[in-house]
Structure 1
């Protein structure tokens, strides 16, 4: 059903992802091509209780499906609500391919979102056959080759198009591509095709994020739980945009304490600042600032003073989250790989990650906690960085990343078996935790305590 591996077009990338034997590599590659089947929402407990949100969500599923999936929770992560796949017959869905239905084509990126429950918005439509009517059922495909031209009005034929599912047309061609749409300063917006069901079985309900709950990858939620920020603490979020983890910290701290959120991209920080203002948050401030330069040895803070603009002095923060820029090769499903991704580009990420770590260590107070995370699966960006930290900074002690829903780290030169067990890696062999099914994106978490 899914492409065997988009990485086969880029053997240099494949060689860098995992230095394992051939069978292990194939298992990982095939897993990366499949979407996570579990959908997770993080409930904002400052606004609504988990049972109340769970009831509302179950009602939404009940209205859409004759036999809706039952919403469940995860022990030790009380703010999470999970939705399993629908009891969909894949055979019945794929039979639709033989019916005389028109087709809609999207690119690989949009296709990946559809397999995770999204609908098709107007900018995502590459091709829609002429004569397609409102309310008409259509077959939806992803163009894996990247050769379908925007606005195509005939059936797109290719050996590299992937059947995704069935949808209902909500916008016609002239609304998406017509002269009125082209002349607009902004492209057409809105749902062009509402998905009925996809081959992944993930409920096609779109993104129902609101002030009450946020659609978020489970490992990202676990990451903040591992950091465990508490009311009254000073916390640094070094690479904060788009701010989902920052907001999670605020909720865990009850908006009491100080959170500094940084990102060097001005537009991203502007978006985060809008969230802060919209929610009237008191504890968090955001700055457009390069986190690799956030430490200033000459700066001397006043005790108990509110944190001003960066840079900051040594021993300023109780806790630091370093959710580092990475190759993002854990973002399942990877239906296509950028042609610009190369071994050279992959090698550049650890250099950035080491610079950020070098800035973070002196900022942390003695006995302070630093959590390092990535959304990738490469060893050099994960276990490799941890081994480097332990050698470079003797004051940093690796401890168990709990609560644990992922598996252990990989064997790596410079890491003992005990240290490997402390790490948390979400990968192809992570299937269950705390008695509940786990099927998430690829992710990595390491937790350190500064001894002195």
Structure 2
């Protein structure tokens, strides 16, 4: 029984997604009824968090075993002696999995309430405390030290500073206020610390606020798969086209043993600075990050004095990762998305511009990995079909590891091509209620299987460029 309703979407967006998931190829392969059931299951899963918290160990600085022991000690403190297993993924050796217990349905709701924004609420469901910038409303009598019930304003209707809110709100659990209402709304300007320390969350996930920051990187499981699929080798020159905040960039550098060159581009300056901070914190020196628009990363003429900085000459890189800007419709938990259909569908042209640049910058024999954190057909399988038609130099390649399912029908790809893709689809497993009794009885292989399936929605395609591209290719 789901604890939250399905993700709230604008009707035109839900209809757009439904048409994709009920396309002729899908319906003919199963039935309309089965396709509709699976689509509704997806919408419900998107509103709920995954069953596991995934962290990647920075193997450049420490062994997985050493970090796992440190993490077990930390969890014992956070969970006040409650024993929660930390599993090493058998296929992704640098990934650790922590099961999420919940939902806990018997938490007593308190009279004193805090309303947080939807984004803050999503973070709380993944183990975060409530930081002051995320607080929208607080009861008029709230004092520091009070036990507070925290709710998410999933539709963004609560007014900043309100003393009560009767609109649509979702209960996230209880916590202890670090500040009074006056401190939050009339106190120190630009206060950014913890406002509510969560003590009884609906879903019990570990907090990674400043926890082993040089050794661990909080990362969704499919995101950790991507760098392994790229398979970077020491000494290579690699480009991460849309890199911030640097989770995949730093993973690439670690897999290369920090030997070689990883060029990371992002067009938002503060995100690039955050990427540099992450690289420094993780002790990685092979990364060079630039604030640069990746659609302009191809050098079209001779430009003096720019050697080693963007833009780059054609066929300069051994491997390229294009973790493309996307609609993000696979992120979990996400109880409401207010985007218009125009916004959701705006990414396909940008992704094609980036693919054009990536293909031109890749050496013959080089590898290109394309990934998104969305579930739309247009941004995933349709882009693969377009790329194979537009760039005859590209061929799909098998992926290792292959943890997700095959690609979705509907883009005209052949069955053997779909098998070469990875689509992580959380609708393939029922929602799980997990408590400490379940964890003590569960087999490790069953938990790993669940972690592989009950994750965010994600997509990965791997190409090889088997011959040179000397003429400019149109990306219309």
Normalising by structure 2, report the TM-score: 0.85
CA distance in 1, matches of 2:344, 2:106: 41
1:396 paired residue number: 394
What aligned pairs does 1:41-440 form with structure 2 within 5 A after superposition?
Answer: 41-63=55-77, 64-86=79-101, 88=102, 90-93=104-107, 96-97=108-109, 100-153=110-163, 155-158=164-167, 160-178=168-186, 180-181=187-188, 184=189, 187-203=190-206, 206=209, 208=211, 210-277=213-280, 281-299=284-302, 308-338=308-338, 341-431=339-429, 435=449, 437-438=451-452, 439-440=454-455
Between 281-290 and 311-320, report the one with greater CA deviation.
281-290
User: Is the CA contact (8 Å cut-off) linking 1:40 and 1:218 kept in structure 2?
Assistant: yes
User: Is the CA contact (8 Å cut-off) linking 1:236 and 1:260 kept in structure 2?
Assistant: yes
User: Is the CA contact (8 Å cut-off) linking 2:149 and 2:171 kept in structure 1?
Assistant: yes
CA distance in 2, matches of 1:380, 1:406: 19
**2:462 counterpart (443, 447, 450):** 447
- Name the CA shift for 1:138/1:363 in 2 (closer, same or farther; >3 Å): same
CA distance in 2, matches of 1:138, 1:433: 33
SS at match of 2:384: helix
- Name the CA shift for 1:157/1:436 in 2 (closer, same or farther; >3 Å): closer
- Name the CA shift for 1:47/1:25 in 2 (closer, same or farther; >3 Å): same
- Name the CA shift for 1:279/1:162 in 2 (closer, same or farther; >3 Å): closer
Following TM superposition, by how much is the alpha carbon of 1:19 offset from its aligned partner in structure 2, in angstroms? 3.0
Following TM superposition, by how much is the alpha carbon of 1:350 offset from its aligned partner in structure 2, in angstroms? 0.7
CA distance in 2, matches of 1:106, 1:152: 11
- Name the CA shift for 1:274/1:205 in 2 (closer, same or farther; >3 Å): closer
Following TM superposition, by how much is the alpha carbon of 1:15 offset from its aligned partner in structure 2, in angstroms? 2.3
CA distance in 2, matches of 1:292, 1:204: 36
- Name the CA shift for 1:343/1:131 in 2 (closer, same or farther; >3 Å): closer
Q: In the TM superposition, what whole-angstrom CA distance separates every residue of 1:27-62 from its partner, at most 9, and x where no partner exists?
A: 111111111121011111122211111111111222
- Name the CA shift for 1:104/1:132 in 2 (closer, same or farther; >3 Å): same
Following TM superposition, by how much is the alpha carbon of 1:409 offset from its aligned partner in structure 2, in angstroms? 0.9
Following TM superposition, by how much is the alpha carbon of 1:135 offset from its aligned partner in structure 2, in angstroms? 2.6
Following TM superposition, by how much is the alpha carbon of 1:356 offset from its aligned partner in structure 2, in angstroms? 0.6
- Name the CA shift for 1:317/1:430 in 2 (closer, same or farther; >3 Å): farther
Following TM superposition, by how much is the alpha carbon of 1:152 offset from its aligned partner in structure 2, in angstroms? 2.1
Following TM superposition, by how much is the alpha carbon of 1:145 offset from its aligned partner in structure 2, in angstroms? 3.1
- Name the CA shift for 1:204/1:271 in 2 (closer, same or farther; >3 Å): closer
Q: In the TM superposition, what whole-angstrom CA distance separates every residue of 1:397-423 from its partner, at most 9, and x where no partner exists?
A: 101222122111101233111111111
- Name the CA shift for 1:300/1:228 in 2 (closer, same or farther; >3 Å): farther
1:16 paired residue number: 16
User: Is the CA contact (8 Å cut-off) linking 1:37 and 1:200 kept in structure 2?
Assistant: no
Task: Show structure 2 runs of 5+ residues with no match.
Answer: 23-34, 430-445, 468-476
Following TM superposition, by how much is the alpha carbon of 1:434 offset from its aligned partner in structure 2, in angstroms? 6.0
Aligned-CA RMSD value: 2.2
- Name the CA shift for 1:282/1:57 in 2 (closer, same or farther; >3 Å): closer
Q: In the TM superposition, what whole-angstrom CA distance separates every residue of 1:285-304 from its partner, at most 9, and x where no partner exists?
A: 12222212222354599xxx
User: Is the CA contact (8 Å cut-off) linking 1:117 and 1:206 kept in structure 2?
Assistant: no
Q: Structure with the greater relative contact order (CA < 8 A, sep ≥ 6): 1 or 2?
A: 2
Following TM superposition, by how much is the alpha carbon of 1:355 offset from its aligned partner in structure 2, in angstroms? 0.6
Between 364-373 and 16-25, report the one with greater CA deviation.
16-25
User: Is the CA contact (8 Å cut-off) linking 1:300 and 1:313 kept in structure 2?
Assistant: no
Q: In the TM superposition, what whole-angstrom CA distance separates every residue of 1:362-403 from its partner, at most 9, and x where no partner exists?
A: 211121110000011100000010010111111101012221
- Name the CA shift for 1:350/1:205 in 2 (closer, same or farther; >3 Å): closer
How many pairs does the alignment contain?
432
User: Is the CA contact (8 Å cut-off) linking 2:111 and 2:149 kept in structure 1?
Assistant: yes
